[in-house]
Structure 1
């Protein structure tokens, strides 16, 4: 018995009823060559290690970013963008202990509601992150192409409103991941519960119900690919193509935008490297269904636990980018940690320090 990757790729054959024994998003009607149990066990151990590291680094790192951008620094449009990005990543990594437990126990002990929430939070992070990155790219592009209009109309309040709209859209797009998530017992061991996508909400398995399941699964997967990758990424790439073109023609603009450009470009590149393999593997899984291709399905089964860890790495690496590239953020962070340590170790009977941390007057 093996546990599937948390994004729903299948790792085992399905049962004769058409439900995947491991509780994945997928349903098969043909036999496929499965990876060896030893290989699956090794891949699951690797995933547990990645998820654990991502949880520790992601919660601490993104929590620190939220603290600095939300409470210590002066509110600017950029701090609003990065604050929302950190909140999305924080929520994503905060739920990882449940996934680690699922992999370790090969059993979902948290109930149906938390199964649904866990899946919805993953989708919420994916959509919120990519659309915040798209908004940041558009914001930078407008700043370069229409600088006068940009400075006359760009306000922190508007940034909060845009962020709210992004979260509302991400929440709406995450609803199917909540609705179709379900729990059920293993066919081999009734006391073992799996968390999986159930597109039928019925125990009856017929050719018609299978086709309905397959249609809903394909529809959700294709929609997710289009809305989380195929649509936002051309917009992001186009914006940065325009920015690079304008910066090359204006040396002073290049100097002014150097640090911010590096941070945002690094975030987008790493986000692409972490999420593109996931989206590609989803499409490969759909194609394997259509073509009944056992070799392609075998590749999906092997790649699933590896690819599933990449989005978690993305969620914990952004704070490191801020520290490495953003000199001002680095200075502010170290001062904040020092201040916190001073308060933690301060004698409560001693008089309070009258000094306070001064908010930054510049964007990240």
Structure 2
């Protein structure tokens, strides 16, 4: 999820070191980069482990239902996201791309594929819960595993369509070090005005589209769906007076989505603005982007290990299945040793 678009601003370290008071700025950048790498490492380890457990338990230990279809697809998307984190972490740590051009394209595509899939599955889950609360009779008659599987397939197809441009535009640039960046102009010419203008136009189109379809619209749908659910729960005074747990879970889901994806998309929009004719060359804006980018990206990465905690591990039935499965594994292990 690098926001860089041309070799002129090919990585944040170069952007920081090119400014006045560069030593002080660069030291701050390195500290932020270290914090980001720690968060990324945590997201990688927890994301792979948590989602791996979810996939295993749902696939082999639980009955196939509509909910398990949603959570299985969410876990697969987040597992895929987390599994490719080492490539981005290596790029961030080395400040150059040590892999091939194909891996530069593939890594970016997989990251965005899993991000779009994860976001849209979260939207589907919120809509499914909303419909179940508002129209329970209709839901009972029409909600089934086959339809849930078809919807999940549609989500992956949509995510693939939205992520394909990143495979097309992603490119490498070699000058002392190798940079993996988004070459929106699809050209090695970085000086001709018409080529620069084409790159800026595609950059703006991709960034705005990603913000709208990957954040603004999904977040609006999620908030609206849970607002309807909260309204219905409050009307049911018996349920509302028994526990505040549903409201706390809903608040956690909305807050997590906003905090994880909001900073990344805001940074992307700032990066887009930086490359407009009016702001191009602004030292202040370039520093804001360089300093915010590592943390903003890491927060987006962190979402892959928070989803299992919010959506799956809070389920008592799932926790019981995990407990029984772990006991079964140890029993089999000890029996084999005997």
Answer whether TM exceeds 0.5 for this pair.
yes
Q: In structure 2, do the counterparts of structure 1 residues 323 and 154 end up closer, same or farther at CA, with 3 Å as the change threshold?
A: closer
- Is 2:218 aligned against 1:232? yes
* Aligned partner (choices 178, 188, 203) of residue 203 of structure 1: 188
| Distance in structure 2 (CA, Å) of the matches to 1:203 and 1:7 | 19
- Judged with a 3 Å threshold, the aligned counterparts in structure 2 of structure 1 residues 256 and 152 are, in CA distance, closer, same or farther, namely farther
In structure 1, what is the Cα distance between the partners aligned to 2:29 and 2:167?
27
Report the Cα offset of residue 334 of structure 1: 1.9
Q: Residue by residue, what CA displacement relative to the aligned partner does 1:74-110 show, whole Å, maximum 9, x if unpaired?
A: 1111111111111111000001111222223333222
1:7 corresponds to 2:2:
yes
The separation in 1 between residues aligned to 2:181 and 2:201, in whole angstroms, is 17
Residue 167 of structure 1 pairs with residue 167 of structure 2? no
Shift of 1:257: 11
DSSP 3-state at the match of 2:63: coil
Per-residue CA distance 1:266-319 (angstroms, 9 max, x = gap): 334312210011111222223334441442332122101111100111111222
The 3 A distance-change label for structure 1 pair 260 and 254 is same
> 2:101 matched to which residue of 1?
112
* TM-score relative to the length of structure 1: 0.82
Matched, 1:95 2:87: no
In the alignment, the residues of structure 2 paired with residue 304 and residue 258 of structure 1 have an alpha-carbon distance, to the nearest angstrom, of 36
Inter-CA distance 104–301: structure 2 relative to 1 (3 Å threshold): closer
For each residue in 1:119-171, what CA deviation from the matched residue of structure 2 results, as whole angstroms up to 9, or x when unmatched?
01111122111111111111111111111111011101110110000000000
- The alpha-carbon distance between structure 1 residues 149 and 263, as it changes in their structure 2 partners (threshold 3 A), is same
In the other structure, the counterpart of 2:273 is 287
Q: For structure 2, which runs of at least 5 residues remain unmatched after alignment?
A: none
Which residue number corresponds to residue 127 of structure 2? Answer: 138
Residues in 2 aligned to 1:336 and 1:261: alpha-carbon distance in whole angstroms: 31
On the 8 A contact 1:275/1:311 being kept in 2, the answer is yes
The 3-state SS of whatever aligns with 1:7 is coil
CA distance in 1, matches of 2:231, 2:135: 14
How far, CA to CA, are the matches of 2:100 and 2:137 in structure 1?
54
Gap change, CA 1:343 and 1:109, over 3 Å in 2:
farther
Q: What is the aligned-residue RMSD (CA, Å)? A: 2.6
**What residue in structure 2 maps to residue 362 of structure 1?**
none
Helix, strand or coil at the partner of 2:7: coil
2:304 matches 1:321: no
In 2: Cα distance, 1:149 partner to 1:256 partner:
27
The residue correspondences of 1:152-191 to structure 2 (distance < 5 A) are: 152-186=141-175, 189=176
Which 4+ residue blocks in structure 1 deviate beyond 4 angstroms? 31-35, 252-265
CA contact (8 A) 1:109 1:193 kept: yes
- Correspondence for 1:241: 227
Quote the offset at 1:259 in angstroms: 6.8
1:333-344 map, 5 Å:
333-344=322-333
Distance 1:120 1:219, change over 3 A: same
The residue matched to 2:173 in structure 1 has which SS?
A: strand
Q: TM-score, normalised by structure 2?
A: 0.88
Cα distance per residue 1:189-219 (max 9 Å; x no partner): 1xx2111111123222211111111111111
